[in-house]
Amino acid sequence: MPVFDSRSFKDHEQVVFCADKETGLKAIIAVHSTTLGPSGGGIRFWDYAAAHRHVAPGDIAETRGEEDAIYDVLRLSRGMSYKNAMAGLRLGGGKSVIIGNPRELGTPALMEAFGRYIQRLGGSYYAAEDVGTSPTMLASVAKSTSYVSGLDSGEFATGDPSPHTALGVFVSIQAAVKHRLGKTDLAGVHVAVQGVGHVGLYLVGHLIKAGARVTITDIVESNIEAAKALGDVTVVEPAAIHAVDCDVFAPCALGGGLNPKTIPDIKASVIAGAANNQLEHEGVQDEDLRQRGILYAPDYVVNAGGIISVEAEVHREKVSDAEREAKVLRIGDTLATVFAASDKQRRPTGEVANEMAEEIIRKAGEHKNLAAE
Ligand code: NAD
């Protein structure tokens, strides 16, 4: 199973495999970079083998699932380095994945066992919530490690990052609409939101308030009902959302939604959403979108609001809500810079953003080396 040869491995500092027989824990922690500060990134709890079970028997499905988990944690941790760099944070990039179904395996004992592994890294990785983990699960992790952020309680606790992520997505949509459609407000702009979970629901609230026309989908009926309670929304089937005839497509469910099957059907001229890893293959789909005249707002720039909100917690600092909000609002300016560079260089926005992030990290590394001499 390749790690160093994986196509998502790129100069990672440390990759740790964790197993605890008693609780059934199988997890991987990837620290991509600590150049800008301790690496920060969420714990994803996901049954990676599930996608393979219907085509491959037992062991093979599990092995393929593990390969997917390695690919995911390496790619996500690198994405966190880029996200934190572009958001101007004093945080490096890391991520962890726990392999398995969180509903079956996610006991307090397993989360606590995982916390012991995080503790052993001595603060080079700070965990937070991600898909499959909840504030309650994080509280269990925090029993065995102090390197957790996004907690509900405690002196520096910053709580649920989702509203901040949603605000960041909202200002990203504003910036992208301004750049592509020349509109300075969202009144009458039609936005299709894929997934109205923690982030998507707050986003729908902002959009309705701004006078946008909103179409939504979700695979969970109660989430659709919660979005309908916010105001006038149109609901479509999950399989139809990317093809809605709208101005903006906002993927706020899971990654990989921008692929050769979906892209030809997309009618929106802007894509800006919270989901991580929206492009199935970086460098391929972002160029495809550019050539089709669709403005893609790089996902990790758009969804940085959550990590912006927890930065102070990692550094044990107190910041006011206004300071935090100001940092989230700056996401719009960062995107405007990426869009302008992409237009000028005639290169995809994703590639341009990656280069900008790498440059920030490279310069910080040089600075650190000089200071150490
Ligand atoms: P969530 O699990 O609360 O919401 C995701 C929603 O998408 C759920 O309502 C789910 O039912 C729905 N969904 C899943 N598959 C779907 C499909 N095929 N079609 C339509 N709907 C589907 O997660 P979240 O916290 O809202 O995060 C959404 C995305 O944003 C994730 O990719 C996450 O990694 C990313 N993100 C979240 C944050 C945060 O602060 N929560 C920060 C950065 C990035």
In one-letter notation, the amino acid at residue 80 is M
The Å distance, Cα 251 to ligand 1 centre, comes to: 8
The Å distance, Cα 218 to ligand 1 centre, comes to: 10
In one-letter notation, the amino acid at residue 212 is A
In a domain, 151, yes or no: no
> Is the same domain home to 62 and 120?
yes
Higher pLDDT, residue 304 or 371: 304
In order, the DSSP letters of 255-321 are S--BSTTTGGG---SEE--S-SS-BSSTTTHHHHHHHTT-EE--HHHHTTHHHHHHHHHHTT----H
Q: Is the pTM of this model over 0.75?
A: yes
Mean pLDDT of 282-297: 92
Q: How far apart are the C-alpha atoms of 279 and 207, rounded to whole Å? A: 24
Q: Would the CB of 298 count as within 6 Å of ligand 1?
A: no
Q: Would the CB of 273 count as within 6 Å of ligand 1?
A: no
> Is the same domain home to 170 and 130?
no
- pLDDT tier, 372 (very low <50, low <70, confident <90, very high otherwise): low
Residues 93-125 pLDDT 10s? 999 999 999 999 999 999 999 999 999 999 999
Q: In the Cβ-directed half-sphere of 130, how many Cα atoms lie within 13 Å?
A: 27
25, β-bridge pairs: 20
Task: Indicate the number of domains in the chain.
Answer: 2
What domain range includes position 245?
Answer: 162-303+332-357
In a domain, 2, yes or no: no
Among the listed residues 10, 21, 26, 95, the single catalytic one is 95
> Is the same domain home to 169 and 132?
no
Find all residues with CB under 8 Å of 240, minimum gap 6, and list them.
Answer: 217
Q: Please provide the average confidence, as pLDDT, over all residues in the chain.
A: 94
For residue 307, the ligand 1 atom closest to its alpha carbon is 42
Is 184 exposed, middle or buried (CB count within 10 Å of its CB: 0-12, 13-18, 19+)?
exposed
The Å distance, Cα 75 to ligand 1 centre, comes to: 18
Q: Would the CB of 275 count as within 6 Å of ligand 1?
A: yes
In a domain, 351, yes or no: yes
The CA distances from residue 83 to 9, 137, 138, in Å, are 17, 24, 22
Q: Would the CB of 131 count as within 6 Å of ligand 1?
A: yes
Q: How far apart are the C-alpha atoms of 220 and 216, rounded to whole Å? A: 12
